[in-house]
């Protein structure tokens, strides 16, 4: 469940909602060399949300903050057999990057730095 209080600053909002992931230790490093069959941008306001499917049919969810005021940048990635499991099992990867993250930055990070092969890409976030 997402914590939201209209009086929260954007930093407080991110702090409260990231706390639920703090107890998890990263079992493996950032996912490398995956083939993404389809990747669709769904939201773009305060958090960017991508959903998609890997080449093997597994569900993929990827999130990151669209603005970086006082919170360290991160990418949250969930990969599982179904959408529900991907949405509820997100692993948070903190980034040493202190500029506002853009789609171009994230897509370049995935494809150039981590070898993701994105076959189809779309953007529904404007609707």
Say yes or no to pLDDT of 14 above 80.
no
Check: pTM over 0.75? Answer yes or no.
no
d(CA 125, CA 69): 22
What is the phi/psi pair of residue 83, to 5°? -60, -45
Total tally of structural domains belonging to the chain: 1
- Examine residue 39 and state whether it is found in any structural domain, yes or no: yes
- Could you list the beta-strand ranges (E) of 5-116: 35-43, 47-54, 59-65, 74-80, 91-94
What is the phi/psi pair of residue 38, to 5°? -145, 145
List strands edge to edge, sheet with 35-43. Answer: 91-94, 74-80, 59-65, 47-54, 35-43, 117-123
- Examine residue 20 and state whether it is found in any structural domain, yes or no: no
d(CA 2, CA 12): 12
Domain extent for 55: 31-123
- Residues of the chain above pLDDT 70, percent: 75
**How many other β-carbons are positioned within 10 Å of the β-carbon of residue 104?**
8
Say yes or no to pLDDT of 18 above 70.
no
Q: Burial-class residue 47 by CB neighbours within 10 Å (0-12, 13-18, 19+).
A: middle
Per-residue pLDDT tens over the stretch 23-78: 445 456 889 999 999 999 998 878 889 999 999 999 999 999 877 666 678 899 99
- Examine residue 3 and state whether it is found in any structural domain, yes or no: no
pLDDT at site 68: 63
- Examine residue 46 and state whether it is found in any structural domain, yes or no: yes
What DSSP letter does each residue of 11-25 carry, written as one string? HHHHHHHHGGGTTPP
- Examine residue 41 and state whether it is found in any structural domain, yes or no: yes
Task: Answer with the residue of higher pLDDT: 39 or 14.
Answer: 39
């Amino acid at each position: 469940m997402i914590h939201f209080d209209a009086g929260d600053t954007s930093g407080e909002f991110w702090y409260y909602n990231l706390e639920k992931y703090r107890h998890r230790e990263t079992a493996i490093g950032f996912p490398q060399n995956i083939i993404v069959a389809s990747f669709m941008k769904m939201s773009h306001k305060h958090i960017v949300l991508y959903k998609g499917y890997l080449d093997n049919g597994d569900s993929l969810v990827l999130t990151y903050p669209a603005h970086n005021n006082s919170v360290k940048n991160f990418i949250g990635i969930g990969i599982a057999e179904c959408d529900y499991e991907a949405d509820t099992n997100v692993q948070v990867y903190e980034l040493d990057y202190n500029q506002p993250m853009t789609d171009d930055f994230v897509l370049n990070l995935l494809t150039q730095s981590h070898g993701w092969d994105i076959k189809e890409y779309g953007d529904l976030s404007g609707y």
